[in-house]
Structure 1
């Protein structure tokens, strides 16, 4: 059973090699590490054939297929937002109002939150936002440390909250109702909103207060980074979020948002029709952001497939059951609060092992939390929110173990310690979730028909008697 951890160990080694040694941040390389881990890990199994049968069962699970399909769909909407240049609109807005220093750093955090929520991609947001917001922030007197931290914080905010985020989808899909249905994304986002907003509001105030420390106002124009027209793309973003949350159907939300976004972007001249979908006869290829949106998800989908393969092996080997049994059998997990405390520790350690790749850590620890939470009657929305929020908080920004910090360091030249220290949202979100676990704030239980109740079903029935 313990030899089933060999693929996990090999995958962890690849995380260290890619992020620390090579400073490579592409999902394709990480997916390769997962598949190599499976190929080598099978050698330590009694039957190589049965090992791969287990891996395929994990890959073909309903949770795996659901995540893969959703990723391909959201890739198109994410590419639409990137093509529209939404970040430039916020730079224009801040410059027009005359925001400088710490206030601009706080504004960058707010704007990046919106961009990452719109695109659903934390890493994509950082590569888009840093070239625009960071130079503008330096000119306007922002602290380099907190300016970089504000961008990373905003990227993590959207990763945690956006209904089209990979971690939102992964956290929802791994938590199931008693009847076996995975938690719906809309319901998770609706109940998650309060945690993200409280943590985000605290971080916003801190960025405004601390954001100008060490910064120097240089003056000068930043019109080259500005594009006021792109702010109109907030309309399809808001509509998409409302439809996805209200209908609790992510596919309907994407359809409405993508359709409205295409019409709005074309009408406002943000991109030509050829940027949407076109033919490249010289290279015998189709082009456009709809194509690149799907193609851009291939690396993430490959990572999901490899991680679910590893999960299939861990499940059939009995390792996941062993972990669940150990957690539930511990003194700490005798109560729902204790079970959540144990889960916070487990999520944090898993995220550290996977180098801050939150989607991988959520997919790995999610099944364990699902069984632990179901045993205590905790509602799947609460479990999914705990899983996603903790993974996207302090464990995701540890220096020298975080892909987010490494990217921020690579794009700014700052040390990983400085970038991590400036990522205030990671600290505030973790603090909010610790308070939520300790006080029971937002802890709902699953009722007989899947509804959220304040007490476990057994306690509710006893009270009725």
Structure 2
């Protein structure tokens, strides 16, 4: 491991830090990621951690086909983009057909005026969809309309809704052995063993019980839903309130 490691690679944390800083300052996610990519290219070239052909190049032997990390990155998310478009389209059809409204009404019959039940229902919907859909981004997009409908109906603050949606997704998406992030990590290690034979091969099922961060996070969000810990509301103008406003 020491022979294969290069401390110079740590400098590539700088573009990542820039993305986080811009995002936390309110910049759009696409804007933050774009600036991170633009900074990563000169940093990589100056630090010597990569060359320009590794980033983007033309393969003359393959009729001028473009290759490189940028091209592979785009290619790797084409299928994800198509899947997300299909999920968004299906959700829109469910909305037009009244399925969303019907499911929301059924949940509200059980919830009634209980804020704890409302948040437990949100937690349950997000957890269920993340258990069924192997890609956490797709599961989050599928659950979002239900979270928004219930959150709007009970005046739960949008930051609270977003935290419940994203935290449960980030937890369960990296726990289940059939989840895409876990399988991606496993397949990446398998492909790298040809270059680094010292890498251990760990099966997704062996990782399942030891994803402590994921288990703790999903448990904390369930505790927050059951106890209303940190619950805030919003009025018609989106202002944060400690008490639920009158409907």
Pair in the same fold by TM > 0.5: yes
SS in 2 for 1:457: coil
Aligned partner of residue 225 in structure 1, secondary structure: coil
Query: Which of 223, 236, 241 matches 1:453?
Result: 241
Q: 1:336 to 1:248 in 2, by over 3 A?
A: farther
Work out the CA distance in 1 between the residues paired with 2:184 and 2:77. Answer: 19
The answer on whether the counterparts of 1:393 and 1:425 sit within 8 Å (CA) in structure 2 is yes
CA distance in 1, matches of 2:236, 2:230: 19
Whether 2:114 is the aligned partner of 1:335: answer yes
In structure 1, distance between residues paired with 2:25 and 2:170: 24
Give the distance between the partners of 1:307 and 1:320, measured in 2 at CA.
Answer: 14
Deviations 1:387-416 (A, max 9, x none): 1211232475245x4344555666565555
Q: What corresponds to 1:306 in structure 2?
A: 86
Q: CA deviation at 1:367?
A: 0.5
Q: Distance in 2 between matches of 1:449 and 1:234?
A: 39
Moved over 3 A (4+): 401-417
* RMSD of equivalent CA atoms: 2.4
Partner of 2:47: 268
CA distance 1:407–1:241, shift in 2 (3 Å): closer
Check 1:390–1:458 CA distance in 2 against 1; reply closer, same or farther (3 A cut): same
Residue 48 of structure 2 aligns to a residue whose secondary structure is coil
Deviation string, structure 1 residues 286-318 (Cα, Å, up to 9, x no partner): 223222222221011011011122212222221
Aligned residues: 235
After superposition, give the CA deviation of every residue in 1:22-62 in whole Å (9 maximum; x if it has no partner): xxxxxxxxxxxxxxxxxxxxxxxxxxxxxxxxxxxxxxxxx
Tell me, in whole angstroms, the C-alpha distance in 2 between the residues paired with 1:407 and 1:275.
22
Name which of 244, 257, 260 aligns with 2:36. 257
Q: Is 1:427 the equivalent of 2:205?
A: no
Higher helix share: 1
CA distance in 1, matches of 2:84, 2:31: 23
Structure 2 Cα separation of the partners of residues 333 and 426 of structure 1: 31
CA distance in 2, matches of 1:393, 1:236: 25
Match in the other structure for 2:131: 352
* CA deviation map 1:352-372 (0-9, x unaligned): 222x32222222221111101
Distance change (3 Å), C-alpha of 1:240 and 1:391: closer
Assess, with a 3 A threshold, how the Cα gap between structure 1 residues 290 and 380 changes in structure 2: closer, same or farther. same
| Structure 2 residue corresponding to 1:380, chosen from 158, 171, 175 | 158
Partners of 2:185 and 2:56 in 1: how far apart?
Answer: 32
Out of 407-416 and 335-344, give the one that drifted further. 407-416
More contact order relative to length (CA 8 Å, sep ≥ 6) = 1
* SS of aligned partner of 1:433: helix
Preserved CA contact (<8 Å) 1:448 1:457? no
In structure 2, relative to structure 1, the CA distance for the partners of 1:395 and 1:304 (3 Å cut) is closer
Secondary structure of residue in 2 paired with 1:286: strand
Moved more, 295-304 or 383-392: 383-392
Indicate if the aligned counterparts of 2:131 and 2:172 stay in contact, CA closer than 8 A: no
Who is 1:233 aligned against?
Answer: 12
1:223 positional shift: 2.3
C-alpha separation in 1, matches of 2:204 and 2:29: 35
Residue 218 of structure 2 is aligned to residue 440 of structure 1: no
Which residue of the other structure, out of 285, 290, 293, is the alignment partner of 2:70? Answer: 290
Cα displacement (A) at 1:452:
2.8
Counterparts of 2:182 and 2:50 in 1: how far apart (Å)?
Answer: 32
Gaps of 5+ in 2: 191-199
Once the two structures are overlaid, the 10-residue window that deviates more, 374-383 or 242-251, is: 242-251
CA distance in 2, matches of 1:394, 1:255: 28
Counterpart for residue 402 of structure 1: 179
Q: Please point out which of 223, 229, 235 is paired with 2:2.
A: 223
Label 1:228 to 1:390 Cα distance change in 2 as closer, same or farther (>3 A).
Answer: same
